[in-house]
Amino acid sequence: MKNKKEIIAGIIIIGNEILSGRTKDLNTSTISKWLNSIGIKVQEVRSIPDVEEIIVKTINDLRKRFDYVFTSGGIGPTHDDITSESVSKAFRLKYEINEEAFKILEKYYQPSEFNEGRQRMTWMPSNAKLILNPSSGAPGFYVENVFCLPGVPSILESMLPSINNKLVGGDPILSLTISLRTLESEISKPLKEVQNKNIDVDIGSYPFFRQGKVGVSIVIRSKDKSKINNCNSQILAFVKEKKIEIIERD
């Protein structure tokens, strides 16, 4: 049976506040987990500043290389929210008021509250289609394969389900995590041997520090549950042989 084409995506996190460290990026994890659940693999993530030239260049680069691109940040009401206008320039489209978005926000706010800043959130590329926002009214939008979402994590997460029917995914990407009380150097050789025997499965190791003790989480990823189970058995075999403590499995 011929394998299905792998569907791949890129994520662009936009905002000076992320790069400065003032705001923690939670959206990469949220978007990636959601995409994995619908069979779309994230292959690249970039964090970039609120600079039009950089936004335009990054969007044009990623949209040509990936099936889908997701941006986070820069579509709010303030002067430094320039993602919408930058997307317009990337696609060489007119930047204008989206009438549907205007009507949504006009109903959402009291007349005295629907000020110039909030009206700014209705400006989009000329042929943009809306991504509805159940949390705070202001919609996101998409143009071709570029989906533009807000930077506030809770709002972004609430908007993702409405995009499901706009994407073509594959089989869900499954994962299993085994957390061990050990060091990476202790398991690097046997883990590499497991990976070499299972080249079509992604196996990663990630050190952590909890309650004053170090450990390593091994994450196995595949679209095939039987392959995950096979790798799991091989890993547990060397873990048992080395008498390594298993902290958690999920």
Spatial distance between the Cα atoms of 228 and 220, rounded to a whole number of angstroms: 6
- Predicted pLDDT at 121: 95
Spatial distance between the Cα atoms of 133 and 130, rounded to a whole number of angstroms: 9
Better pLDDT: 137 or 220: 220
Spatial distance between the Cα atoms of 99 and 130, rounded to a whole number of angstroms: 11
CATH architecture of 7-166: 3-Layer(aba) Sandwich (3.40)
Q: Rounded to 5 degrees, what angle do the CA atoms 197, 198, 200 make?
A: 145
Q: At what angle do helices 184-197 and 225-241 cross, to 10 degrees?
A: 140
Q: Let me know: does 59 contact 93? Beta carbons within 8 Å.
A: no
pLDDT, tens digit, 9 for 90 and up, residues 74-96: 999 988 899 999 999 999 999 99
Instruction: Collapse the DSSP code of 212 into the 3-class scheme (helix H, G, I; strand E, B; otherwise coil) and give the result.
Output: coil
Better pLDDT: 212 or 100: 100
pLDDT, tens digit, 9 for 90 and up, residues 150-174: 999 999 999 999 898 899 888 888 9
Tokens of 103: 């009507």
Spatial distance between the Cα atoms of 186 and 189, rounded to a whole number of angstroms: 8
Instruction: Collapse the DSSP code of 123 into the 3-class scheme (helix H, G, I; strand E, B; otherwise coil) and give the result.
Output: strand
Question: What's the pLDDT band for 4 if we cut at 50, 70, 90?
Answer: low
Tokens of 178: 């085994």
Burial of residue 11 (number of CB atoms within 10 Å: 0-12, 13-18, 19+): buried
Hey, what amino acid is at 29?
S
pLDDT at 138 > cutoff 70: yes
Q: CB atoms < 10 A from the CB of 156, how many? A: 22
CA 155 from centroid of its chain's CA atoms:
14
Q: Let me know: does 148 contact 82? Beta carbons within 8 Å.
A: no
Round the average pLDDT of the chain to a whole number and report it. 93
| CATH code of domain 174-249 | 3.30.70.600
- Predicted pLDDT at 211: 73
- Predicted pLDDT at 169: 83
Residue intervals in the chain for CATH 3.30.70.600: 174-249
The number of C-alpha atoms within 13 Å of 59 and in the hemisphere containing its C-beta is 29
pLDDT, tens digit, 9 for 90 and up, residues 169-213: 888 889 999 999 999 999 999 999 999 999 999 999 999 887 778
Better pLDDT: 79 or 231: 231
pLDDT at 132 > cutoff 60: yes
Instruction: Collapse the DSSP code of 227 into the 3-class scheme (helix H, G, I; strand E, B; otherwise coil) and give the result.
Output: helix
